[in-house]
Amino acid sequence: MLVVEKTPSRLTAKPSWLLGQVAVHAHRLASDGFGEVGARGYHYRILAALDEFGAASQADLGRRCNMDRSDVVAALNELAEQDFVERTPDPDDRRRNIVTLTKAGRRQLQHMDQALDKVQDDLLEPLAAKDRQTLTRLLAQLLAHHQRG
């Protein structure tokens, strides 16, 4: 007979523990979803930033996307190999590259948006639409508070 161990109620009553557990599932779902369109989360961060804010230096992308410099370079190399971004020398400082989103990159971003929308539906499946909006608003409020501090 299989005995299923329960998680201690001390843990399940703590929002920090619950958020951590849900984050594990969210990360797995997002990785799987991006994998289905031949991408990774870092690719999405960069393409979304370029689409929303326009061309940027690699350093600016790292700051905007909250990514380490070496991760930015590796992700940009992968994106450039697929013609999703273009790097050109900065005319004001030849030591820097300016990264631009290409048409192919914009199409890839749309595919990634669709994959991520499906991930959101899978992750939040048991919640009604109003509860999903409330959860998203509350999480954004928490994040904004802790980013300030």
Contacts of residues 123-131 at CB distance under 8 Å and 24 or more positions apart, as own/partner, are 123/22, 123/25, 123/26, 123/29
Q: Is residue 108 part of a domain?
A: yes
Which pLDDT belongs to residue 2? 53
User: Given pLDDT bands bounded at 50, 70 and 90, which one contains residue 1?
Assistant: low
Q: Is residue 11 part of a domain?
A: no
Mean pLDDT across the chain: 94
What does 8-38 look like in DSSP terms, one character per residue? Answer: PHHHHT-HHHHHHHHHHHHHHHHHHHHHHTT
User: Given pLDDT bands bounded at 50, 70 and 90, which one contains residue 31?
Assistant: very high
| Residue for token pair 């631009």 | 100
Which pLDDT belongs to residue 19? 95
Nearest Cα neighbor of 124 from 32, 33, 24, 26 is 26
- Indicate whether 20 pLDDT > 90: yes
Give the contacts of 135 (CB within 8 A, at least 6 positions apart).
124, 127
Q: Is residue 19 part of a domain?
A: no
Q: Is residue 24 part of a domain?
A: no
Percent of the chain at pLDDT exceeding 70: 97
Which pLDDT belongs to residue 93? 85
Which pLDDT belongs to residue 4? 52
Indicate the SS3 state at residue 97: strand
Stretch among 8-12, 37-41, 75-79 having the lowest mean pLDDT: 8-12
Read off the CATH number of the domain in which 55 is found: 1.10.10.10
Give the contacts of 107 (CB within 8 A, at least 6 positions apart).
none
Q: Is residue 143 part of a domain?
A: no
For residues 90 and 141, the answer to whether their CB atoms sit within 8 Å is no
Indicate the SS3 state at residue 128: coil
For residues 127 and 135, the answer to whether their CB atoms sit within 8 Å is yes
For residues 50 and 105, the answer to whether their CB atoms sit within 8 Å is yes
Q: Is residue 89 part of a domain?
A: yes
> Which residue range forms the structural domain that includes residue 110?
34-124
Q: Is residue 78 part of a domain?
A: yes
User: Given pLDDT bands bounded at 50, 70 and 90, which one contains residue 110?
Assistant: very high
Number of domains into which the chain is organized: 1
Q: Is residue 91 part of a domain?
A: yes
Q: What is the mean pLDDT of residues 121-135?
A: 97
